[in-house]
Amino acid sequence: MVEVRTEVARRLRRWRSTALPIAQAALAAGLSWLVATDVVGHAHPFFAPIAAVVCLGVSLGQRLRRVVELVVGVSLGVGVGDVLISLIGSGPWQIALVVALAMSSAVLLDGGAVIALQAGSSAVLVATLLPPSAGGGLDRMVDALVGGLVGLAVAALLPANPLTVAHREAKVVFGELATALRGVAAAVAGRDAVRAAAVLARLRDSQAAVDEFRSALRTGGEIATIAPIRWRSRHDLGRYETAAAPLDYALRNARVLARRALAALRDGEDVPEVLPDVLRRYAEAVDLLRTELARGEEPTRARAAVCEAARCTTEGRLGGGGLSTKVVLAQVRSVAVDLLQATGLSRAEAAESLPPVDRGGGR
């Protein structure tokens, strides 16, 4: 019984996460039919609601250009299919010819892969399931354009919150970086090469999280551009966009740090005792940066935390004479620069905020 309730709750959560896209698709389908019948004057505008639903389905996770490509492709395929099938009839060779001509037209118009595929599939629909009536003409192409435009309008007037996905994907990226820093700190403190290897293995799979984060920002940026009620989100999205590339670099540098820390542990090098504390402070700064960005705040506290932790990242304090340990020192400072850039500083400003490498050499 408990398992049944858990499964029902899981499915309800999944439905709630898709409730807005479902509402958008339903509204766009109804409105596109209404516009095509009452405004354009078509009796049976079958392709209008189809184009509207397909258009919205693509716009959920693709760029605006993909939506335009889909509308153009559908319209081209329907138009070519309608004209040719009305002239040559329907059959195996007619279907092959229509698809070839529709896709060729898309390619010759310098369209992308989406346009060509949609043109071909739409031509198949016209040639098989919906042969043109005596007076069909280019009506279905107009219907597809109407549906696509209505779909875009609904997406603009009833948009998803662009910050919701950005927050979720940013949390994953920040979590990966903070977990990695704490993992390396624990491995160094316990001289545990096995744990360091596990951290390195996880970091090697972290690029997917960065890619999802960047994709979420692109989608969110387009929503904030075309949807008036989401214009206020552009500032907060801008902070995330500023942080995206430095976070990517920070994860890459953390990967190098983990690899060289693993080498230092395996080679028995003397790793500075202060290093784990520095890495843990960086991880706390990462958590603080995530919180401030999620709240839409200027990340001043995270910036200060990075600078405070960086005071220990000088050669005199970290010490260590082995090659791997010196590389670890360099990567620790590189991560600091990346984190400061993620707070909004330029690379030059970030570098100037850190103490010189040789400061405190006698300590």
Q: State the maximum Cα–Cα separation within the chain, in Å, rounded to a whole number.
A: 93
Asked if residue 79 belongs to a domain, the reply is: yes
User: pLDDT, tens digit, for every residue of 103-158?
Assistant: 888 888 766 676 787 788 778 877 776 655 544 546 777 887 888 888 888 877 88
The CATH number linked to 270 is 1.20.58
Q: CA 48 to CA 146: how far, in whole Å?
A: 6
- Start-to-end CA distance of the chain, whole Å, equals 65
- Are 141 and 168 in a shared domain? no
Asked if residue 113 belongs to a domain, the reply is: yes
Portion of the chain with pLDDT greater than 70, in percent: 87
Q: Which amino acid does the sequence have at 55?
A: C
Residue 17 has pLDDT above 70, yes or no: no
- Are 221 and 152 in a shared domain? no
Asked if residue 312 belongs to a domain, the reply is: yes
Confidence of residue 363 (pLDDT cuts 50, 70, 90): very low
Asked if residue 191 belongs to a domain, the reply is: yes
- Are 77 and 109 in a shared domain? yes
- Are 100 and 13 in a shared domain? yes
What's residue 112's pLDDT?
Answer: 67
Q: CA 144 to CA 135: how far, in whole Å?
A: 17
- Are 214 and 328 in a shared domain? yes
Which of 282, 272, 274 has its CA nearest to residue 250?
282
- Are 87 and 195 in a shared domain? no
Window from 5-14, 63-72, 119-128, 246-255 with minimum mean pLDDT: 63-72
Asked if residue 139 belongs to a domain, the reply is: yes
Confidence of residue 359 (pLDDT cuts 50, 70, 90): very low
Rg of the chain on CA atoms, in Å: 28
User: pLDDT, tens digit, for every residue of 205-217?
Assistant: 999 999 999 988 9
- Are 99 and 223 in a shared domain? no
End-of-domain residue from the set 157, 180, 212: 157
- Are 11 and 92 in a shared domain? yes
Q: Which residue has the higher pLDDT, 47 or 138?
A: 47
Q: Which amino acid does the sequence have at 255?
A: R
- Parent domain of 73: 2-157
- Are 20 and 134 in a shared domain? yes
User: pLDDT, tens digit, for every residue of 157-195?
Assistant: 887 788 888 999 999 999 999 999 999 999 999 999 999
Per-position DSSP letters for 110-165, written without gaps between them: T--HHHHHHHHHHHHHHHHTS---TT-TTHHHHHHHHHHHHHHHHHHHS---HHHH
End-of-domain residue from the set 107, 137, 157: 157
What's residue 269's pLDDT?
Answer: 82
Structure tokens that stand for 346 in this block? 């330029």
User: Cβ neighbours of residue 221 under 8 Å, at least 6 residues apart?
Assistant: 162, 234, 237, 241
What's residue 357's pLDDT?
Answer: 60
Asked if residue 346 belongs to a domain, the reply is: yes
What's residue 239's pLDDT?
Answer: 93
Q: CA 275 to CA 25: how far, in whole Å?
A: 54
Q: Which residue has the higher pLDDT, 111 or 309?
A: 309
Q: Total domain count for the chain? A: 2
What's residue 118's pLDDT?
Answer: 74
Q: Which residue has the higher pLDDT, 16 or 280?
A: 280
Asked if residue 127 belongs to a domain, the reply is: yes
End-of-domain residue from the set 110, 129, 157: 157
**pTM attached to this predicted model:** 0.70
Asked if residue 202 belongs to a domain, the reply is: yes
- Are 243 and 153 in a shared domain? no
Which of 41, 68, 50 has its CA nearest to residue 152?
68
- Are 263 and 224 in a shared domain? yes
Give me the sign of the Cα torsion angle 218, 220, 223, 226.
negative
- Are 68 and 127 in a shared domain? yes
Residue 48 has pLDDT above 90, yes or no: no
